[in-house]
Amino acid sequence: MSDYSEQIREEQSMVDESYARLDAIRVQTKARLDEVRARGAHESPTQRSERDSFAAMYEDRLIQLRSVEDRLVFGRLDHEDGTQHHIGRIGLSTPEHETILIDWRAQAAQPFYEATPQHHGDIAMRRHITLKFRDVVSIEDEVLNIDSSHVTSASQAGTLTGEGALLASLSSRRTGRMTDIVATIQGEQDRIIRSPLNRPLVVQGGPGTGKTAVALHRAAYLLYTHRQTLQRSGVLIVGPSPAFLHYIDQVLPSLGETGVISRTIGNLLPGIHATAVDDPYAARIKGDRRMVKAIANAAASRIRVPSALPVLKINGVRVAVTRTDIEQAQNDARRTHQPHNIARKTFIKSMISLLTVRYKEGLDYEPEYSEVHNAQETLRMSETLRKTLNTAWLPMNAQWLINDMFSKPHRLKQFAPWLDDNQIREVIRPTGSKFTISDIPLIDEALEVLGPDPHEQELIEARNSRTTSDEKYINDMMSSMGLSGSGVSARTVLAHMEDTDDLTLSERAGADREWTYGHIVVDEAQELTAMDWRMLIRRCPSHSFTIVGDVAQTSALGGTHSWNTMLDRVFGTDAWDINELTVDYRNPQEVSDTAGNFAASEGLYISTVNAVRTVPDSVERKTFTTIHSAIDSTINHAIDLITTYVSSDGSGRVAIICDTEIRDEIDKRLRISMRNSDRISDAEFNRLTSQPAWDAQIGVYNPTEVKGLEFDAVVLCEPGLISSNSPSRLSAAADLYVAMTRPTQKLVIIQTEEDKERISL
Ligand SMILES: Nc1ncnc2c1ncn2[C@@H]1O[C@H](COP(=O)(O)OP(=O)(O)OP(=O)(O)O)[C@@H](O)[C@H]1O
């Protein structure tokens, strides 16, 4: 076998060639961008529009080329016939079109992740290459066909299993940002990443099995493989909290994919940003599918026959507004099957024509057209008629309807007769209260039922008619300049003038409630309620979904404990696929076992997981007689862990997880102890306590706040308190299961004797 350092040198020269090519393409792209930007301001609208699209294209490409700097090359495949291919973050070739590097998403790269000694096809060997900046620091070979003559080139150093790169990445300090796993994607993960686009795919797996990582790499894979489709419609990522979205937001850019839009349920509707959280019982009531009926009932209740019907005087003629006419006009409007506010226009039109008939009946002659027209105008201007018609068919906006529904107990009872008095009390609130996250899908549902806000609609119509006349002006102007037929539309010119074409796809998608995405990734999907799902389905009628979650981690009362129960209703029976991940990459075996045993003893349905690492003494338990001493110990442990794991270079994360009831007190006492500790310098104290919450290297959290996140070390304080303050034993167990499975290195569980009576971990 050839010498290890010789092989490092060989790989270094290949890596140098790749970076040299990357640099050359960057310089070339930058030069093209500068050239396009420098083109004169005297160009025709067509040329300007063309220039702008080229500039946008070069800008995107430059961003992509810059984002792949880190670990550009990470693998090599050796074929039986002696050919070799290097695998990297992007594909690169020489100016003569000879391949230098294969994009990890290309089909030719698939064996790098999926080939096994049993199924290796024509691959004899796989090599993992580790870089530090642009230098090769190690290589590791995995022989797939021991009989191949080419394996003599396998390096002797490193293991022959490819575990080295994986374990090094798993044991590294956490940075508060998820990193990509492109160099070490495992076979079972890769098969999910490369699944077809068009069927909903559920990825179920225990904590730390890489569900989030897989979902993000799948998004990158789909964007690469179906670029035409997805570039136009976009990809939406839905996560459980802004902190989680912040945690994952570097992954796709590091894979060269920008422009994916990420949202929580609370900010999925343009113009409303809900952060308030309902009580768990209220959230469950609001997430129930029957709220569809309640909203439909609430809207329908605003279509009625007013108790007092006026008699109008039109040009001296008495015109009575009758129940029969109102009912007929309402039926006309209902038959359109349009949303409430749009159907209302038919109702009004119908009423005006029925009242015109009544007016004519009051005359003893056949009126001229002008008189009829005049009578209709008078009807339209009548304040009395306007009030009557509003009572008969009330124009409403969605927020008003939801606010109204939850502020009047008797009305809610009428719309949702299945709710008992206690449940009504749970959700009732003063009128004008802030919207909660659970209100957002209800507002979305109401928007569907009602259609656009009538006031906004008027503004849009006014704007559209302005746009039409502006377009006509531009068309006239273009034809007088001889530019008709130049290929550029008046609308494009107008968009340039109004700067609206500067919006990126994700900005346009995010601002448009009716935008439909080409693919949606849903993370922590087990927490979503039936109403959340309705909102998401509207945004992706093609049902192209990647849904990742763990039904053992469900803490929302309205969430799902069975994918079948929830998703059969959403997509239809047999209309979605499920895949399971089984390897825990995050937790040491000891932590994984402790958490798994606890979850199973509490009756949670847990997926089987095998952890890839063991870390002796990674679980520690302490018991105290008083809560005061338990909190003291929590803080002392946290300080120990800070000194062990937290570095001043920003790496290393420690979390204390406890119930909200004691969080503030722990936080306050932690700060005091950190300031007084002689193991934390003043400078370090100031640095740690001035970090923004999202980037904090030490933090105190409740279990909900750490969903999907990970830390080097976790101190779980007084878990029984979390359990007794939880809405159900099952949701407490799920919360504690989440809390216990956050650390990559160390879990400390601190309880009082009393707490141990409540729950035993
Ligand atoms: N193939 C891999 N190579 C390297 N690291 C990996 C791999 N798969 C997963 N990881 C790492 O394991 C950790 C857990 O992954 P991830 O957060 O995606 O798990 P999860 O299943 O979503 O967990 P949870 O259900 O607890 O939210 C992350 O640090 C991730 O980068």
Helices (H), 314-416: 323-335, 340-361, 369-381, 383-392, 398-405, 409-415
pLDDT in tens, 430-453: 999 999 999 999 999 999 999 988
The pLDDT-based confidence of 551 (bands split at 50, 70, 90) is very high
- Residue 488 CB contacts under 8 Å (≥ 6 apart), including other chains: 44, 45, 46, 49
Pairing mode of beta strands 135-143, 123-132:
antiparallel
* ipTM over the 0.90 cut-off: yes
The CA distance from 652 to 646, in Å, is 4
pLDDT tens-digit readout, 115-126: 988 889 999 999
User: How far is ligand 1, taken at its centre, from the CA of residue 536, in Å?
Assistant: 25
Does ligand 1 lie within 6 Å of residue 188's CB atom?
no
Which residue numbers belong to the known binding site for ATP? 205-212
* Ligand 1 pocket member 587 (CB < 6 A): no
Q: Which amino acid residue places its CA nearest to atom 1 of ligand 1?
A: 185
User: Which atom of ligand 1 lies nearest, measured to the CA of 581?
Assistant: 21
Q: Of the given ranges (328-332, 453-457, 471-475, 698-702), which has the lowest mean pLDDT?
A: 471-475
- Binding-site residues, in ranges, read 205-212
pLDDT band at 43 (very low <50, low <70, confident <90, very high): confident
Whether 18 and 71 have beta carbons less than 8 Å apart is answered as no
With a 6 Å cutoff on the Cβ, whether 207 touches ligand 1 is yes
550 Cβ inside 6 Å of ligand 1: yes
By the 8 A CB rule, do 549 and 578 touch? no
Q: What is the dihedral of CA 656, 660, 662, 665, to 10 degrees?
A: 80
Put residue 28 in one of left, alpha, beta given phi > 0 → left and psi -120 to 50 → alpha: alpha
Region 235-240 average pLDDT: 96
Take atom 4 of ligand 1 and give the residue whose Cα is closest: 181
Instruction: Write out pLDDT tens, residues 199-237.
Output: 999 999 999 999 999 999 999 999 999 998 898 899 999
Q: What is the distance in A from the centroid of ligand 1 to the CA of 209?
A: 5
When computed from its CA atoms, the radius of gyration of the chain, rounded to whole angstroms, is 32
CA of 592 to the centre of ligand 1 (A): 13
Helix pair angle (589-601, 729-740), 10° resolution: 180
In the reported structure, the alpha carbon of residue 315 is separated from the centroid of ligand 1 by a whole-number distance in angstroms of 77
Q: Looking at ligand 1, which residue's alpha carbon is closest to its atom 15?
A: 210
89 C-alpha to center of ligand 1: Å? 19
pLDDT band, residue 473 (cuts 50/70/90):
low
Checking if the pLDDT of 128 tops 90, the result is yes
CA 189 to centroid of ligand 1, rounded, Å: 10
Per-residue confidence band for 160, with pLDDT thresholds at 50, 70 and 90: very low
Is 0.90 surpassed by the pTM of this model? Answer: no
Helix 369-381 to helix 340-361 angle (10° resolution) is: 130
